[in-house]
Amino acid sequence: MNSSELKKALQGLNYPGIDRTIGELKLLGEIKVTEDRANIELLTISDESYLNVKRIIEENFSDTFGSLNITKKNLGTKKDMNYGNSADPNNRAPYAKNIIAVTSGKGGVGKSTVSVNIAIALAQRGYKVGLLDADVYGPNVPRLTNTDLQRIQWDDNDKIIPAENYGIKIMSVALTTPAMDTPLVWRSSVAVNALIQFLEDVAWGELDFMVIDMPPGTGDVQLTVAQELPISAAVLVTTPQIVATDDVSRAVMMFKDIGVKMAGIVENMSFFIAPDTKNRYDIFGTGGGEKIAKKYEIPFLGAIPLDMQVRESSDRGEPPVVLGDAHIKKYYQDIIDNIFKNSDFTL
């Protein structure tokens, strides 16, 4: 069996526990057969995935070759972690003219949905845009952009090729795992290292904007982004609910403390308009985002309603700023207008 025959055979193996093949999941790297020895490189970031695929290959091909050398292409290669500081950050993304960091104080407020629609709205205006899903423990960007079935590949320069859809380039740790429900049980140092890798080892090309979907809270990833990138503007997402505004207040203070300029606050799931009566219901309270903006003297960028169209289209990977009704698109377009008013971008 030669190299091409082995690769074809490996591509047809089913990944354990799911109805997809190793080839469909794009988990195979370089395959080389030399005499009675097979060298097989696996493209996976997860140790669990590597061991699962290694086992299934050994079960099927141990008797075919005298020696099987199955290795993992390491996405976690140790990077230069000579940290900058928030007052004088490094620039791990010199290819991007502007960095927009989208964050929230807590999860479940629609931060990723806002990030996706901001990135696409910028692309709709003719800008070159990359979207980095830095929420490594809850990576939703591929689902929201209909790229969840794609898996990473490398170009001839050994750079990761980002996924693309809706006019933007996309990178997420979810594109490196065999299935959407594969957990990444990582210590924060590993998550930070993966973030640096996605900044430096992805073929982003020249970008006008890099939009970063940050994890919720005020932890290691937020601090690393502030130390390693010159953030042009931070966008904070909240709902009107008191527990959400309490948490986003902490995020505001973090950015103030480390000297990051905030473009402002977005209030998501702000209100609900009943489709039959057209009555308005403030399900999560009212005015929370505006109160926070006023309290901390930062801009209020706009309110987005709790709308079935936004939820349904997002679940289908059809961002509302692309495929929604005109009134839904306008919410995001107005937010972009306000971000530009409150930021000094290089264009």
Residue 61's SS3 state is helix
Average pLDDT of the residues of the chain: 88
- Predicted TM-score (pTM) of the model is 0.79
Strand 37-42 with 67-72, pairing: parallel
Among 154, 176, 152, 178, smallest CA distance to 163 is for 152
72: which DSSP letter?
Answer: E
Q: Say how far apart CA 197 and CA 195 lie, in whole Å.
A: 5
78: which DSSP letter?
Answer: P
Among 299, 322, 315, smallest CA distance to 236 is for 299
Residue tagged 């994890």 (tokens): 215
Q: How many CB atoms lie within 10 A of CB 191?
A: 20
Buried b (16+ CB within 10 A) or exposed e, 314-333: beebbbbbbebeeebbebbb
DSSP string, 172-227: EGGGGSSSTT------HHHHHHHHHHHHHSB---SEEEEEEEPPSSSSHHHHHHHH
Buried b (16+ CB within 10 A) or exposed e, 286-307: eebbebbbeebebbbbbbbbbb
Q: pLDDT for 278-309, tens place per residue?
A: 999 999 999 899 999 999 999 999 999 999 99
Exposed/middle/buried for residue 183 (C-beta within 10 Å: 0-12, 13-18, 19+)? exposed
Query: How high is the pLDDT of residue 79?
Result: 52
Query: How high is the pLDDT of residue 156?
Result: 82
Query: How high is the pLDDT of residue 83?
Result: 61
Terminal CA-to-CA distance of the chain, rounded, Å?
55
Residue spans of the chain under pLDDT 50: 76-78
Q: pLDDT for 59-92, tens place per residue?
A: 999 999 989 999 987 654 445 556 666 667 889 9
Q: Tell me which amino acid residue 37 is.
A: R
Please list, in sequence order, all residues whose beta carbon lies within 8 angstroms of the beta carbon of residue 61, skipping any fewer than 6 positions away: 6, 9, 38, 68
